[in-house]
Chain A
Amino acid sequence: MLDRFTERTMDLEYTQEQEEFRHELRDWYEENLPDGWLEGERNIPEDKDEREQFLRDWQRKLHEGGWAGVHWPEEYGGRGATLVEQLIFNEEKARVDPPPSISVIGTDFVGPTLIAAGTEEQKERFVPHILDGEEVWCQGYSEPESGSDLASLQCEAIDEGDTYRINGQKIWTSYAHYADWCFLLVRTDKSGPKHHGITAVLVDMNQDGVDYEPIDQIVDDSTFNHVYFDDAVAKKENVVGDIDDGWRVAMKLSAFERSALTQAFALEKSFDELVEYCKNTKRDGKPLSEHTTVRQELAELDTRIQAGKLTYYRNISKQMKTGEPGPEGSMDKVFTGEIKQDLERFKTKLLGPESAVWDEGSPGGEWQTDYLQSFGTQIAGGTPDIQRNIIAERVLGLPKDAKQ
């Protein structure tokens, strides 16, 4: 006979308690989002300084409401939310699409890394100001000559006793134009293999030796930057982890980065909006939603979105039981990233000739921007090619790429 005993079994519904968490968050958003936001009036100031003030104010509000660090431990001012609560938080966030978080690098990447690998002094000095938006963070990783091959980075830190003198250049640095601090990877030893001799250090962005220059992106915006270090100074006490051991620290950070991201919920929302558009827009005398080709495409996108979301659920559920993300987690970025691009491209095609108009007021204008943005989203944090290498090598055990 089969061996069997009772055990909590698969359940795709949320518990009462989890639904209450959702409602608490929903109520908070309703009371605290900027006026008109939920009705679609999403006015974020254009001017750089006003924009920064608006975003910092929003971050402070999130913090006061206790929603700035839902996944953070309670002792660091977080909510200590379970993985399912974090999942609900992400679902709801996708639903209301609130103003972007100016502290996202801090809350999702730097904070958790400092909590895991920082000194007591570093935790005390930096962690509290991440959640309340007092200090905005950026992360200095890529360099002009070190993209996918990040470990070849050359930005140099010279040992000067209690401090490092830093010279070099970083690229694709998001939030550098707002940031107070940078989580920076520097070269402290050139003699060994490239993964050795990298050090992670926290660098004050408000000093003479640091400068930045915005990079114009294909979406006609500039959210990331060149950052130049010209005899910049960092205190040695701000090294995270051991000297020359920054690669390991950085990989830990990137593990946080990957598990924090999923586009699945945003995809669902975007798809719902598309469905409404198709129902309410006529072509050839009947709604788009009654055209066979449109129905086929919508159903295929819906199916792929569900496949992505359910696989994400499966990974999170596994992580709740084992404490470690499952191998399914590795596919989220590639899988949902490609759906996002196909979805946005399909939307712009529905417009027909109007697709040529790229004007902020028109739906097509926004859709074209979303489509173009989907390239950036897929490339940021590791291109699809690099992600596929990671899956192939770490999950499927295939041979490593030719490396020097």
Chain B
Amino acid sequence: MDFSLTDEQRRMKETVGGFFEDEGGVELARRQMDGEEGVVDEVWDAVAEMDYTALTVPVEQGGLGDGMLYLALFLEEAGRYATPGPFAETLGFAVPLIDELGTEEQKKAYLTEVADGEGRFSVALHDDVNETPPETVTMEAKVTDDGYVFDGTKPLVPYADEVDSLVVATKTRDESGYGGISLFVVDTADVETTPVETLDSTRPLYEVEFDGLTLDEDALLGSLHGGGDALRRGIDRLNVCGSAMLVGGADEAVERSAQHGNEREQYGHPVGRFQAVKHRITDMWMNMQGARSLVYNAAWRLENDAQDAPRAVASAAAFTTEECSNVFGDDIFNHGGMGFTWDHDAHIFLKQARTWETFLGTPEEHRERVAEARLS
């Protein structure tokens, strides 16, 4: 039993943190929020230069072959600065999924490109903006003699304009009515995208329209009708990625609040001397640590195909999204009126946390999964 990071993992984390700080830290997120073009390209190129885009790509495809735990550590550091870019979607969702389901040709085509920094992915999962996938995947890919025909709209696709390809979740059925979930890789050049006004503008969302797009067998990822389980695992990975980013942001928020508590003086004392402030910061720190433990545990269990991985993911996602939202909210309170201004960083993270809190399962839905696992 050893639940600590290795020296090498700790060094990697420090290096990555320093790297994102040197690249501009939270300034990158701000430029993205201001609508500047090309920020994701700039970040991605720099990350590729460091070989970090190769993190989860298997060695055979020119990658570094690391697993979820390593990725979680990387994302914690990216999340420290709310760094924009489809890291979770590409490295956490698409790469392991293609590695698991893809044909040799697909792996060669997509994974090598990701490793080289030439390929970016996102995910088109939702069909109804009020429902959580995968149970509610409804968009049909019609199985015809000409190929698979896509008609419909995916309303919440992150980074659609900033990536090369999408993994699209669809419903398929054969003539007898038998069917299931099928996953496809779709080139973003073949779809219509419309930006959505988002709460978290570091992570843009798009409405993606499929207008009779017809694709052949090469686009199908894994078996026809048989993508449900893999999709569920992919969503689990994505949730852990999102949570890992929030933990990094929360760590930074604790530091920001602690620094303010030391520097800001009122009534002749640094405000961090008053227990109302001091204890609130302590609670932020404790909940951040609890979230970090749950995230590392979930990542480790996913990486090691542990049977109880889904429960670990659900716990991590429920706790992290809720508690980190509270951490960022408390960061606002600690800074008083300044915390409520656009110029202060706390709201960037709060909006990110509140988005992850419901994007792929609400805390209540995650908890129901925990209950299912504990009570059956």
Contact = CB atoms under 8 A, between A and B. Distances in A.
Interface of A: 1-5, 7-15, 18, 84, 87, 275, 278-279, 289, 295-296, 298-300, 302-304, 306-308, 310-311, 313-314, 316-318, 320-321, 328, 331, 334-335, 385, 388-389, 391-392, 395-402
A7 B7 contact: yes
B4 A314 contact: yes
Interface residues of B, number: 56
A18 B1 contact: yes
A150 to B, nearest CB: 18
B121 interface: no
Interface stretch (B27-35, B103-111, B290-298): B290-298
A10 B367 contact: no
Interface in B281-303: 281-283, 285-286, 289-294, 296-297, 300-301
Contacts of B7: 7
A311 B69 contact: no
Interface of B: 1-9, 11-12, 50-52, 64, 69, 254, 258, 261-262, 269-270, 272-273, 275, 278-279, 281-283, 285-286, 289-294, 296-297, 300-301, 312, 314-315, 318-319, 364, 366-371, 374-375
Contacts of A306: 294, 297, 312, 315
A9 B285 contact: no
B368 A295 contact: yes
A363 to B, nearest CB: 19
A327 B275 CA distance: 20
Given A10-B6, A12-B301, A398-B281, 18 more contacts: A10-B4, A12-B1, A275-B374, A295-B371, A296-B367, A296-B371, A299-B314, A302-B370, A303-B315, A303-B367, A311-B292, A314-B3, A314-B4, A388-B278, A391-B286, A398-B278, A399-B272, A402-B273
A302 B3 contact: no
A302 B300 contact: no
B375 A12 contact: no
A10 B300 contact: yes
A331 B269 contact: no
Nearest to B306: A12
B371 A299 contact: yes
Majority secondary structure of chain B interface residues (helix, strand, loop or mixed): helix
A321 B262 contact: no
Contacts of A396: 254, 258, 281-282, 285
Nearest to A303: B315
Contacts of B270: 399
A14 to B, nearest CB: 5
A398 B3 contact: no
Contacts of A313: 1, 3, 293
Contacts of A335: 286, 290
A399 B273 contact: yes
A377 to B, nearest CB: 17
Given A12-B297, A304-B290, A402-B269, A299 B318 contact: yes
A24 to B, nearest CB: 17
B275 A389 contact: yes
